[in-house]
Amino acid sequence: MKKWLSIVLTVVLGVSLLTGIQESAEAKAGSKFSVKLEKCIDGDTAQFSKVGRTRFLYVDTPESTNKIEPYGKEASAYTCAVMKKAKKLELAYDGTKKDKYGRTLAWVFVDGKLLQSDLTKRGYVKGFYDYGNYSYESQLHADLKYAKNNKKGLYSGKKSELDSPPVPAKGEKFKNCTEMRKKYPNGVKKGHPAYEPKHDRDKDGVACEK
């Protein structure tokens, strides 16, 4: 009986400690505020209403635009998909609100869940950038350990399915973005044989990006 009581108390104390850590992290970070998604950019960057272009705090996902890195396209596609499906998107500041490029720095919550944690657990985070003492550091380090132990994404030892995009036919043209995305789901960059200025309405060098 004493043994079982000891086990129960240990579990209760463990849950209480974890809850306390999470509550402490939330208390340390700034208050959450609602935003709307305006544009997906890559795995750790997006544009939101009220704050503009936003760099997700602490996490660094593989590149998917200027220099394509393994699992960069998966990270970008996943981030975009979950944010577009979300019923509620929230941000929270944690220290410095802007980086040296003028981008907003914030924690991102998708329907109440920390997106940075989700990306890390799925193996879409290659590392962390540490410019301060952030609220969810301990949680994200535990998430990265989980991804490595369970061979997720970057840590699976498998080649990314999106690392080798289809080879375009010479002079390949598409009538509109709907047609282009059937072959190139994330659009194409300037310099790609299928790139046409008419499909790059925001003039950012990427045609038909999501």
Domain boundaries, given as residue ranges, for the chain: 33-155, 165-210
Nearest to 115 by CA among 138, 95, 143, 134: 143
Distance CA 80, CA 96 (A): 25
63 among known catalytic residues:
yes
Identify residue 69 by its one-letter amino acid code.
Answer: E
Write the DSSP string, 2-17: HHHHHHHHHHHHHHHH
Strand duo 113-114 + 188-189: pairing: unpaired
Helices in the chain by DSSP H: which ranges?
Answer: 2-28, 72-85, 115-121, 137-149, 177-183
Instruction: Give residue 11's pLDDT.
Output: 41
Q: Identify which of 51, 123, 43 has the alpha carbon closest to the alpha carbon of residue 83.
A: 43
Which of 77-86, 169-178, 200-209 is least confident? 169-178
Q: Choose between 75 and 192: higher pLDDT.
A: 75
**pLDDT confidence of residue 5:** 46
> Contact 82/27 with Cβ under 8 angstroms?
no
pLDDT in tens, 72-100: 999 999 999 999 999 999 999 999 899 99
- Give the active site residue among 55, 74, 90, 122: 55
CA angle (115 as vertex; 119, 22 as ends), nearest 5: 110
- Check whether 207 has a pLDDT greater than 50: yes
CB 30 within 8 A of CB 92: yes
How many C-beta atoms lie closer than 10 Å to residue 24's C-beta?
Answer: 12
Residue 169: pLDDT band (50, 70, 90) is low
Q: Please state, rounded to an integer, the average pLDDT across all residues of the chain.
A: 84
> Tell me, what's the pLDDT at 19?
44
Q: Which of 53, 69, 74, 103 is catalytic?
A: 103
Amino acid (one-letter) located at 12: V
Q: Indicate the residue type of 150.
A: N
- Of 63, 74, 90, 209, the catalytic one is 63
Residue 76 CB burial class (10 angstroms; 0-12, 13-18, ≥19): buried
Please provide the CATH number assigned to the domain covering 33-155: 2.40.50.90
